[in-house]
Amino acid sequence: MLKRNKSQAFISLVIGLWMIGCGFTATFDPQKVNAAQLFHTAQEAASTGKWTEARASLRQIEQYFPGSKEFPKAKLLMADSFFFEDNPSYPEAEVEYASFLNYFPRSESKDYVLYQIALCQYASIENAERDQASTQKAIKSFERLIAEAPGSVYTSDARAKMNQCNRRLAEHELVVGLLYLNTYHFSGAERRLKMMLEQYADYADLERAYYYLAEALRQKAPTALEIEAYQKEQLNALGKDIWGDVSQTDQEKSLKALGDWIGQQREMYIKESKTYYQKLTESYPNSDWGRKAKDRLIELGTTITKLELDS
């Protein structure tokens, strides 16, 4: 009998330890603890970097004491726990900060929470070669902070980080433009680089932007679609639907006209390219890019003259 009792006790101990290891803990009793005690426990755990333990207490406040005065503080500390832990989870932090604002849209901590949401997005920004969705989101969030809390202590840093975001967007457009240029899509390069200069002129690397835009224009020729459209206009002018119905003489004339038109378009593109090379030589005469631009102008047979610049 004694051996059997010892055996049962040992089995009970093993089962008990297994249940603890598997997370089978005593059921939480909200009658034995209050929100203030739970929040104090969470704060102590957070202060020593035990964020998982802190979140356990904060979840209990959310679940059992949503009407307590500790509830807003618990919501905010929950968001902070994801943001400030050693391996931050910015997406989870952003969700929790947004949840706080849904509950407390007029909170005194609103500017801080808006700032933290923007920082979560700012921290997720990719390098210039990657998609810039997080950069765009961060800009909108910083703009919201400045609009809704203009006197906040966080607005100055928000503006500074917005500038960094815009520089990243400008750099992204430059990278995409250069990719088009290197793969001989000169029209695409022209479009992206001009858009960059229009939208991010205050943030762009103007030296590289001007040079690569000039390079794209210098090498640009009418695209296949543009040539096709021109030839359709030729057919319409001849009153024909297909080239098979056009006489040999008219086909030869049309082919010559097409060649002349392509040459005129090329001259127009090269002329425009020279304006950007010229801007470089005037604005950055001692830089490597300025010297490269000067060489290009000489190569194109251009006398370098002083222009009225926009930079």
Question: Per-residue pLDDT for 140 more than 90?
Answer: yes
100/111 Cα distance (integer angstroms): 12
Mean pLDDT of 264-275: 95
Question: Per-residue pLDDT for 26 more than 90?
Answer: no
Q: What is the CB-side half-sphere exposure of residue 217 using CA atoms within 13 A?
A: 24
If one compares 127 and 164, the residue with the highest pLDDT of the two is: 164
If one compares 27 and 91, the residue with the highest pLDDT of the two is: 91
Please count the residues of the chain: 311
Quick one: 75 exposed, middle or buried, by C-beta within 10 A (0-12, 13-18, 19+)?
buried
- Position 27 confidence tier, pLDDT thresholds 50, 70, 90: low
Specify the pLDDT at position 33: 81
Q: Where is average pLDDT lowest: 19-33, 50-64, 92-106, 159-173?
A: 19-33
pLDDT > 90 in the chain, percent = 82
Name the 3-class secondary structure at 288.
Answer: helix
Q: Could you read off the pLDDT of 184-229 as tens digits, one per residue?
A: 999 999 999 999 999 998 998 999 999 999 999 999 999 999 999 9
Mean residue pLDDT of the chain comes to 88
Specify the pLDDT at position 301: 85
Mean pLDDT of 51-76: 96
Name the 3-class secondary structure at 28.
Answer: coil
Question: Per-residue pLDDT for 29 more than 90?
Answer: no
Question: Per-residue pLDDT for 7 more than 90?
Answer: no
Q: Where is average pLDDT lowest: 23-32, 68-77, 80-89, 149-158?
A: 23-32
Quick one: 217 exposed, middle or buried, by C-beta within 10 A (0-12, 13-18, 19+)?
buried
Question: Per-residue pLDDT for 76 more than 50?
Answer: yes
pLDDT > 70 in the chain, percent = 86
Specify the pLDDT at position 127: 85
Question: Which residue in the block uniquely carries the two structure tokens 């739970």?
Answer: 38
- Position 9 confidence tier, pLDDT thresholds 50, 70, 90: very low
CB within 8 A of 60, min separation 6: which ones?
A: 28, 30, 38
Specify the pLDDT at position 226: 93
Question: Per-residue pLDDT for 64 more than 70?
Answer: yes
Mean pLDDT of 70-80: 97
User: pTM of the predicted model, to two decimals?
Assistant: 0.77
Angle CA(163)–CA(166)–CA(172) in degrees, nearest 5? Answer: 145
Specify the pLDDT at position 303: 56
The end-to-end CA distance of the chain, in Å, is 98
Q: Where is average pLDDT lowest: 65-79, 126-140, 175-189?
A: 126-140
248/165 Cα distance (integer angstroms): 59
Local structure of residue 85 (DSSP, 8 states): S
Specify the pLDDT at position 204: 86
Closest by Cα among 104, 94, 4, 86 to 46: 86
CB within 8 A of 204, min separation 6: which ones?
A: 170, 173, 174, 196, 197
Question: Per-residue pLDDT for 293 more than 70?
Answer: yes
Structure tokens at 46: 């957070």
Q: What is the CB-side half-sphere exposure of residue 219 using CA atoms within 13 A?
A: 17
| DSSP characters over 156-198 | HHHHHHHHHHHHHHHHHHHHHHHHHHHTT-HHHHHHHHHHHHH
Q: Provide the 10 A C-beta neighbour count for residue 112.
A: 19
